[in-house]
Amino acid sequence: MDTPVLRYADLRDLDALEQLETLCFQEHRYRPEFLDWILRNPRTATLVWIEEGAIIGSVMVLLENGQSRILSVAVHPARRRGGIGRKLMEAAERVARERGATVARLEVSTVNAAAIALYRGLGYRTEGVLPGYYSWGEDAYSMQKKLEPNA
């Protein structure tokens, strides 16, 4: 097995990111137009985890006004629970710090126990519940973490 690679995504990765979204979020995924917008936006960063030449994980971050907002974390279903999500989140936090963010925020479905456990394990705290946050009516937790310099 090749050594895994973590790198910034670019427009050449659009199709692979769309495929990963389809695998990870079968009903409620980002549309290709939004993925394109994320990849083109100078206020965002998308990092991808690559194994054996294929993107098997990604994290998308929006950075503005000293805050970072995790937009999406995706790990191929066959590779979950192996630490890739944690590594992607830690990398996203490093990028956020490098770009001057002092706070990281995210929203997560109240029924996504695995993601909630990951975020809590990384030091995110629940700030509140957002009723009907998702377009399909599901509630979300708003979570936040203070980003310490040079952490």
Closest C-alpha among 72, 11, 17 to residue 39: 11
1-52 pLDDT, tens per residue? 578 888 999 999 999 999 988 888 766 678 888 899 999 999 999 999 999 8
Tokens of 126: 């629940």
* Stated pTM of the model: 0.88
Distances, alpha carbon 134 to alpha carbons 87, 100, 110, in Å:
26, 29, 11
Domain boundaries, the chain: 5-146
How confident is the model over 59-113, as pLDDT tens digits? 999 998 889 999 989 898 888 888 899 999 999 999 999 999 999 999 998 888 8
> Which residue reads 């050594």 in tokens?
3
Q: In the CATH scheme, what is the homologous superfamily, with its name and number, of domain 5-146?
A: Gcn5-related N-acetyltransferase (GNAT) (3.40.630.30)
How far apart are the C-alpha atoms of 64 and 112, rounded to whole Å? 26
